[in-house]
Structure 1
Amino acid sequence: MITLLILIPIIGSLMILPLQEDYLNNKNKIKTIAITTSIINFIVSIFLWLEFDSNTNQYQFVTEFDYLPIGHLIFGVDGISLYFVLLTTFITPVAILSNYNNINVNIKYFLVSLLILESLQLALFLILDLLLFYVFFESVLPLFFIKILVYGSGESRDRSANLLFLYTLFGSLFMALAIVQLYSYTYTTDFQLLSLCDISLEGQKLLWLAFFLAFAIKTPLWPFTGWLYRAHADSPLAGSILLAATILKFATYGYIRILINFLPDATNYFGPLVQTIAIVTLIYASLSTIIQQDTKTLIAYSSIAHMSIVILGLFSNNIQGIEGAILLALAHGFVSPALFICVGGIIYDRTGTRVIKYIRGLVTYMPIFTILFFIFTLCNTGIPLSLNFLGEQLSLIGIWEVNPIISALGATGIVLSACYSIFLYNRISYGKYSPHMNKVVLDLSRREFILLITLLIPTILLGIFPNLILDSIHLSVSSLLFN
């Protein structure tokens, strides 16, 4: 089943490549193949979830491939990686549908790149080898670089693509050195064997710093936040959705799978440092968000603020905090793409601008959009009955047990997120209809409505029934801490 998950998007890509997009029928066929492939893969992941046994902390559905040119491949899934896999397969069809109508040049290569990105992301969350984890961690960079460069909309997309590539590559060089050093200690890169190895605290410290630098840039944490808002602002809508929903979760998964799992003593030692950096990032990003005038940039900065609370939960060194961080990471994977669809897709397609002061009074002609936008705005602030609320609360409760002062400072993010989220909503939804929008804007199309409802359902459903997730991850998180 794991093999199918990784191979289905590749098979879909191979079906698309021979088609010529010069004819309208072929364009429609290319789009149909891409969306059908991604939906089939999501259905396969649902079967994986249904067959998953939450009563064991062992890797399940383990699949090995020997005698390959790239070496020994071993894939498996546990309670932690399961929901990152589900998030990836869920968000890919959403990303494809988001640009379904407004990209018509080189559509074949655009959709093929999205399907290949899905395979690479799934391989990262399923691989059980540290060296290949690094390979898949880096493999999304060239595709995303090209996606911003070729399909991006901003005038400064060249700079944005270069910053994305250079920032991430810089941090990953240190991760590569750490993997080589770790191999010299243990003579293995297998996850299961590495978890049994005993490394001295001094050895762990250097390895931890190298891995943390790579993950801090990908999160991103201050002072490495400069690439993210530019990448979001100049990326096509599908790129922003994938970047917010899944690619930023590479670091979240890396913290859990590598730092907490293999280097626990160093993680405990550097915990106060990470908590301090997370608080600085939270306050800096929140205050920066309030003053933004570009809608996509504003949502990008809010992503940084929410990921800071995820970091607080991960480094709380207790079950509540880590489980809350996973819930919040998943919630962010639903709500942030929805907000990008609202501001970078629906509003931008109708008004041709993302500058907030030129957009006003949308409720006059877009009442249904305004209602859904309001609900997602509230979810972004962490309102009760949303998954964001549970994630933030568990993360802050977890860090409270370690350091109440850090927890209190982290709670300011809830107030600040309410400030910038409601402020954005009020400015563009109400007031006198903007004279800069000299035409009547249409309300949601059927496609846009389906996209937003698709993201809203899991946000609310899992906020009411969080045990659908917690029951599956509890044993894996407990084993992570106590073994």
Structure 2
Amino acid sequence: MCLRQVDIKAFIAYSSIGHIALVIIGILNDQVWGILSSIITIYAHGLCSSAIFCIAYYSYLKVRRRRLIHTKGLLQVYPILSFFSLSILFIFVIGLMIFFRGVYNIFLYTSINHGVHSKYILYSVSINSSQYVSLIIHIFPIILFLKLELFFFRKKLSLNYKINALVLSYSEMNLISRFLHIKIIILHQQNVSIKQQLKTQYDDFY
């Protein structure tokens, strides 16, 4: 259904299906890493979707059309947009739904930026610095989420630190329980030996 869309905003809106499919797979896996992956995917979806809609809006400002056929060849007019093609390198195919998500993302990018440029492009409208900044700002929430230890030096809040702390506490609990178990066995043996000595002394006395 997504590949049959001709409107850019509708095209992007249907991409949420691929993200939610990955979230559902992670939750139904019923593992710690699956749930953590689902949480990270939800955060990434919230951050990336707004950036993609910003790019779609800026494309609309240049062409005044939202159909894919009217926005071809933007890369020839604005070469700076080639920077965003690096996102293709990070597409990982996980399942059929996610594969189609990669397909329509590539199709959306190539339909807008490549090919013969459209006659509807307004050459007088240039990409200004505020539009660059609004896209770059989307990187900082990702850094804030993934590198919280850069802002909190006393308490390491990174995910690896928490997992290592949980593993360490679990190992300590196992060691303590084993030590207590051995201690109880030793005390029990000492108690038995004391009872036997008392019984022997009692028998010798009488």
- Compute the TM-score of the two structures, normalised by the length of structure 1: 0.30
CA contact (8 A) 2:18 2:98 kept: no
Matched, 1:365 2:77: yes
Aligned to 2:188: none
Aligned to 1:19: none
Query: Equivalents in 2 of 1:474, 1:421: separation in Å?
Result: 34
Query: Equivalents in 1 of 2:138, 2:106: separation in Å?
Result: 20
CA contact (8 A) 2:9 2:66 kept: yes
Aligned to 1:432: 116
Please point out which of 325, 344, 351 is paired with 2:63.
Answer: 351
Give the partner amino acid of 1:346: Y
Give the partner amino acid of 2:98: I
Please point out which of 33, 38, 50 is paired with 1:337.
Answer: 50
CA shift for structure 1 position 457: 4.7
Query: Equivalents in 2 of 1:468, 1:316: separation in Å?
Result: 25
Secondary structure (helix, strand or coil) at the match of 1:317 reads coil
Greater RCO, 1 or 2 (C-alpha within 8 Å, sep 6+): 2
Q: Percent identity?
A: 28
CA contact (8 A) 2:64 2:120 kept: no
CA contact (8 A) 1:367 1:443 kept: no
**Number of aligned residue pairs:** 160
Deviation beyond 3 Å, 4+ runs, structure 1: 375-379, 456-465, 471-475
**Structure 2 vs 1, CA of residues 362 and 417 (structure 1 numbering), >3 Å: closer, same or farther?**
same
CA shift for structure 1 position 462: 6.4
Please point out which of 460, 463, 470 is paired with 2:159.
Answer: 470
Aligned to 1:125: none
**Structure 2 vs 1, CA of residues 468 and 415 (structure 1 numbering), >3 Å: closer, same or farther?**
farther
Q: For residues 405-448 of structure 1, what are the alpha-carbon distances to aligned partners after superposition, in whole Å with 9 as ceiling and x for unaligned?
A: xxxxx6223321221111111111011111233x3164432111
Aligned to 2:196: none
**Structure 2 vs 1, CA of residues 376 and 447 (structure 1 numbering), >3 Å: closer, same or farther?**
farther
Q: For residues 115-168 of structure 1, what are the alpha-carbon distances to aligned partners after superposition, in whole Å with 9 as ceiling and x for unaligned?
A: xxxxxxxxxxxxxxxxxxxxxxxxxxxxxxxxxxxxxxxxxxxxxxxxxxxxxx
Matched, 1:451 2:134: yes
CA contact (8 A) 2:72 2:113 kept: yes
- Compute the TM-score of the two structures, normalised by the length of structure 2: 0.65
**Structure 2 vs 1, CA of residues 433 and 468 (structure 1 numbering), >3 Å: closer, same or farther?**
farther
**Structure 2 vs 1, CA of residues 358 and 449 (structure 1 numbering), >3 Å: closer, same or farther?**
same
CA shift for structure 1 position 322: 0.2
Q: For residues 300-319 of structure 1, what are the alpha-carbon distances to aligned partners after superposition, in whole Å with 9 as ceiling and x for unaligned?
A: 10012211211111222110
CA contact (8 A) 2:15 2:101 kept: yes
Aligned to 1:226: none
| Unaligned 5+ runs, structure 1 | 1-287, 383-391, 393-409, 479-483
Bigger Rg over Cα: 2
CA contact (8 A) 1:362 1:370 kept: no
**Structure 2 vs 1, CA of residues 313 and 371 (structure 1 numbering), >3 Å: closer, same or farther?**
same
Q: Please provide the CA RMSD for this pair.
A: 3.3
Q: For residues 327-365 of structure 1, what are the alpha-carbon distances to aligned partners after superposition, in whole Å with 9 as ceiling and x for unaligned?
A: 11111111111111101x211122111110111110122
**Structure 2 vs 1, CA of residues 339 and 293 (structure 1 numbering), >3 Å: closer, same or farther?**
same
Please point out which of 14, 29, 33 is paired with 1:301.
Answer: 14
